[in-house]
C-alpha cells in the first residue's frame, strides 16, 4: 500500500513537538508542508524564537547548522544534508589563507574585519567570530558592511565575490577579488574571496537583452548573487523575500523577468507575466535534493525514537560561530 505522504506529514506534525522549516527554493510539495518559510535571515530569526524543541529543516546544510548554532538546545534534523555549492568553496584553511594574503600585502591581522555570507560552513563562521567579525545575508549585507566599516578596518568578504562586489558597488566602495588580477588590499575597501553560486552565474546579459527586445517595458529583477554586470543592468536586486515583495507589488499587467532559482520564480505570480530570466532551467541541485518522502521519513524517525540526519556542531564552533551570527542578528 502506498503512503499518503501529505496526510502522514500532517499527522506527525500534529503529534510531535516539531517545526518544519522550508526555504523558498524547495520543491513545491515540500515547501507547502513548512510551518516556517522565508529568506535566510528570516529563517534564522524565526527559528531562534520558535518554541518547539525539534526542527526539521528543508534547505541546505549551512541553514540547518545556523539554527543549531543560534539555538544549540534544539534538535535539528535535515531530510537531506545537502551542501550549498558556494558554501563548499571555502573551509577554515582557505579562510586562513585569505587572511594571510592580506597580511602579506601589508594589512595586519588586527586591521582586518571578516564578514561571511551566511552561505558558509559553521567552521568558517567560527573563524570570523573569533576575529570579531559578523555574518550577513543577501537581505542585510548593506547594513552589515556599513557596520563593519565603522571599525575603520579593511573588510575581508567571504565566500561570495558577487555579493561582496555588488554591495561594495552600491555603497561606492572599492573592491577586489583575491586571485583575480591585481588585488591590492591597500587599495580596496572590500577584499572578496573568489567564491560564487553556480546557479546565479547562469543569468547573462544576453538573457536580459532577449527579454528587453521582446517586451520593451519588462522589468528585470535579480538576486545579488548574480554577476555585478547583471545586477548593474537590472531594475531591481534583492534577497529571495525582497524579490517576492517586489513582484507582488507590481501591477498584474507589468511583465517581469526574475533571475533566481526556478522553484521560487515558478510559484511567484501564477497567471503569467512573470518569466525566468534564463533560456535554461536554473534549478539549485542541492535545494532540489529534498523530497516529500525524505521529509516524511525524517518526521517518522522522531516518532520512532531513532532520529536521522541530525545536525551536530562541536562546542568550540558553536561558541564562535554564535558570536558572528548574534552580531548580525543584533543589527535590526
Q: Which is nearer to ligand 13P, 201 or 301 (CB)?
A: 201
Q: Tell me: does residue 317 bind ligand 13P (CB under 6 A).
A: no
Q: Which of 19, 66, 137, 140 binds ligand 13P (CB under 6 A)?
A: 137
What's the rounded Cα separation, in Å, for the pair 183 and 156?
Answer: 12
Within 161-200, which residues bind ligand 13P (CB under 6 A)? Answer: 197
- Based on CB atoms, which residue is closest to ligand SF4, 154 or 200? 200
Write the interaction track for ligand SF4 spanning residues 215-254; mark x where CB under 6 A is met and - where it is not. ----------x-----------------------------
* Smallest separation, CB 240 to ligand 13P (Å): 4
43 binds ligand SF4 (CB under 6 A): no
Considering the complex, what minimum distance in angstroms separates the CB of residue 23 from ligand 13P? 6
Q: What cell was used for 33? A: 508542508
Residues 129-188 that bind ligand SF4 (CB under 6 A): none
- Of the candidate residues 234, 263, 286, 290, the single one contacting ligand SF4 (CB under 6 A): 286
Residue with Cβ nearer ligand SF4 (5 or 193): 193
* Smallest gap from residue 275 Cβ to ligand SF4 (A): 18
* Smaller CB separation from ligand SF4, 88 or 300: 88
Q: Given the complex with ligand 13P, which of 102 and 276 has the nearer CB atom?
A: 276
CA angle (27 as vertex; 25, 30 as ends), nearest 5? 110
Let me know: does 149 contact 102? Beta carbons within 8 Å: no
Min dist CB 31 to ligand SF4, Å, is 14
47 contacts 82 by C-beta, under 8 angstroms: no
In the complex with ligand 13P, the residue whose CB is nearer, 117 or 275, is 117
Residue from 44, 145, 199, 295 touching ligand SF4 (CB under 6 A): that is 199
Site for ligand SF4 contains 86 (CB under 6 A): yes
Partner in contact with 286, chosen from ligand 13P, ligand SF4, none, beta carbon below 5 to 8 Å by kind = ligand SF4
Minimum distance from CB of 122 to ligand SF4 (Å)? 15
CA distance 250 to 235: 13
| Termini Cα distance of the chain | 51
138 binds ligand 13P (CB under 6 A): yes
Question: Is the link from the previous residue into 253 a cis peptide, with omega within 30 of 0?
Answer: no
CB of 84 or CB of 112, closer to ligand SF4: 84
30 part of the interface to ligand SF4, by CB under 6 A: no
Q: Which of 47, 60, 76, 90 binds ligand SF4 (CB under 6 A)?
A: 60
Distance CA 175, CA 300 (A): 48
Instruction: Please report, as ranges, the residues that interact with ligand 13P according to CB under 6 A.
Output: 39-40, 119, 137-138, 197, 223, 225, 239-240
Amino acid at each position: 500500500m502506498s503512503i499518503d505522504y501529505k496526510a502522514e506529514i500532517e499527522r506527525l506534525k500534529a503529534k510531535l513537538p516539531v517545526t518544519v522549516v522550508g526555504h523558498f527554493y524547495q520543491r513545491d510539495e515540500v515547501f507547502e508542508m513548512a510551518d516556517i518559510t522565508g529568506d535566510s535571515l528570516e529563517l534564522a530569526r524565526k527559528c531562534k524564537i520558535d518554541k518547539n524543541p525539534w526542527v526539521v529543516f528543508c534547505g541546505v546544510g549551512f541553514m540547518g547548522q545556523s539554527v543549531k548554532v543560534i539555538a544549540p538546545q534544539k534538535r535539528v534534523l535535515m531530510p537531506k544534508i545537502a551542501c550549498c555549492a558556494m558554501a563548499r568553496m571555502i573551509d577554515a584553511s582557505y579562510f586562513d589563507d585569505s587572511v594571510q594574503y592580506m597580511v602579506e600585502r601589508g594589512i595586519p591581522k588586527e586591521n582586518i574585519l571578516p564578514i561571511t555570507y551566511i552561505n558558509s560552513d559553521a567552521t568558517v563562521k567560527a573563524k570570523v567570530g573569533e576575529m570579531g567579525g559578523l555574518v550577513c545575508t543577501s537581505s542585510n549585507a548593506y547594513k552589515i558592511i556599513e557596520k563593519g566599516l565603522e571599525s575603520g578596518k579593511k573588510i575581508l568578504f567571504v565566500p561570495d565575490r558577487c555579493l561582496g562586489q555588488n554591495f561594495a558597488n552600491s555603497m561606492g566602495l572599492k573592491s577586489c577579488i583575491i586571485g583575480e588580477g591585481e588585488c591590492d588590499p591597500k587599495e580596496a575597501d572590500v577584499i572578496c574571496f573568489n567564491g560564487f553560486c553556480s546557479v546565479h552565474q547562469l543569468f547573462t546579459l544576453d538573457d536580459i537583452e532577449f527579454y528587453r527586445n521582446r517586451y520593451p517595458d519588462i522589468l528585470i529583477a535579480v538576486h545579488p548573487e548574480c554577476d555585478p554586470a547583471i545586477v548593474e543592468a537590472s531594475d531591481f536586486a534583492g534577497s529571495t523575500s525582497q524579490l517576492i515583495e517586489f513582484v507582488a507589488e507590481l501591477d498584474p499587467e507589468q511583465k517581469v523577468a526574475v533571475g533566481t532559482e526556478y522553484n521560487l520564480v515558478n510559484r511567484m505570480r501564477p497567471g503569467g507575466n512573470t518569466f525566468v530570466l534564463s533560456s535554461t532551467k536554473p534549478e539549485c541541485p542541492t535545494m532540489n535534493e529534498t523530497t516529500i518522502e525524505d521529509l516524511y521519513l525524517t518526521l517518522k524517525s522522531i516518532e520512532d525514537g531513532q532520529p536521522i540526519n541530525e545536525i551536530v556542531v562541536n562546542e568550540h564552533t558553536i561558541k564562535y560561530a554564535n558570536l558572528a551570527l548574534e552580531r548580525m542578528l543584533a543589527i535590526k
